[in-house]
Amino acid sequence: MTEQLRLMCVHAHPDDESSKGAATMAKYVTEGVDVLVATCTGGERGSVLNKKMDRPEVWRDIASIRAGEMDRAREILGVKQAWLGFVDSGLPEGWLPDSDIALPEDCFYLEPLEVAAAPLVRLIRQFKPQVVVTYDEDGGYPHPDHIKTHVITMEAFEAAGDPDRYREFGEPWKPSKLYYHMSFGRARMTALHEAMLAEGLESPYADWLANRDWTDDKGERVTTKVDCSEYFPVRDDALRAHATQVDPDGFWFQVPMELQQKAWPTEDYELVKSLVPSRLPEDDLFAGLR
C-alpha cells in the first residue's frame, strides 16, 4: 500500500486521548501516519479531578478550559483533532446502563443513534482512515459517554461505507480495521506492580490488584501489542496538559518511567473487524495495510 496511512481514534472526552493510546498515536505521527482524534463531547460535566485546580473560576469556565487543555495535548502528540459537538452526560453516583438513575436530557448518551453517529460518519468519509480505534462494549469502564462512544463508532464504522446511508455526507468510505483499547488489564497492572516491588518501591497498584473484581478482565482478548515505550514521556506530557483532570504528582506518574518502559513497553489492542488479512498476534495497527 503506497497511499497515506490514516488513523482515527474516537474518544468520549478531552483527556481520554492522552490516557488511552497516546504513545501509540505519537509513534505513528513520527512515522508519518496522519492521526485524527474525534472527541465526542466537551467534557462540560466532568469533575475537576486535580485538587490543585479546584477553584470557582475553573468551574465557571470548565468547557473552554478543557478545550484549551485539549489544544495543548493535541500539539504535544502531533495529532489532528475534531469535536463531534455533543454534551457531556456526566456520571451520577451509582449509574449503570441498566439503572433508573436519570441523565440530563441534553446529554450525549440519550441522543438517538442515527443523530449521535451522524457527525462521526461524516468525519470518517472526510478523513478516510484505514484504521479506527475506540472503546470496547463496556466503554473501557461504565461511563455513559464511553459506552455511547463505543455504540456510535460501531454504527459509523459500518454506515460510512454504505452508499445508501447518510447520503448527505458524500461518497462512502469503508475503513479496513477496527480496534478496541485494551491497555488496563490485570497482566499489565501485575507487571508494573511487581516491577515496583522488585525495586523496593511502594506500588500504586496494590489495592487495585487486591480489591478489584477481575472476573471481567479482558486481557486474553488482546491481539495487538504496539511497542511505543519510547513515546511514554510524550504521553505523560499530553496527560499533564489536561491540568483539571490530572494531578502531575498523582497516580498516573508514580511508576518511574524506566520501570514502565521495561516492565510493559506496549499499548495493547483487540482487533475486532478487519477487511484485510492479518496474522495474529500483531505488533502494528496497520498490519496487512503496509
10 exposure class (CB count in 10 Å sphere: 0-12, 13-18, 19+): buried
Residue burial 71-106, b: 16+ Cβ < 10 Å; e: rest: ebbbebbebebbebebbbbbbeeebeeeeeeebeee
Q: Is 16 annotated as a binding residue?
A: yes
Please state, in angstroms and rounded to a whole number, the distance separating the CA atoms of residues 192 and 203: 8
Question: CA–CA separation, 258 vs 270, rounded Å?
Answer: 26
- What does the block give as the cell for 61? 469556565
Rounded to whole angstroms, the Cα distance separating 205 from 193 reads 6
* Burial annotation 122-157 (CB, 10 A radius, 16+ → b, else e): bbbbebbbbbbbbbbeebbeebbbbbbbbbbbbbbb
143 is in an annotated binding site: no
Is 15 labeled as ligand-binding?
A: no
Strands 131-134 and 80-86: unpaired
Bridge-based pairing of strands 266-274 and 224-227 is: antiparallel
C-alpha cell at 285: 495497527
Q: Which residues pair with 83 in a beta bridge?
A: 39
* Torsion on CA atoms 18, 23, 24, 30, rounded to nearest 10: 120
Binding-site annotation, residues: 13, 16, 146
Binding-site annotation, residues for Zn(2+): 13, 16, 146
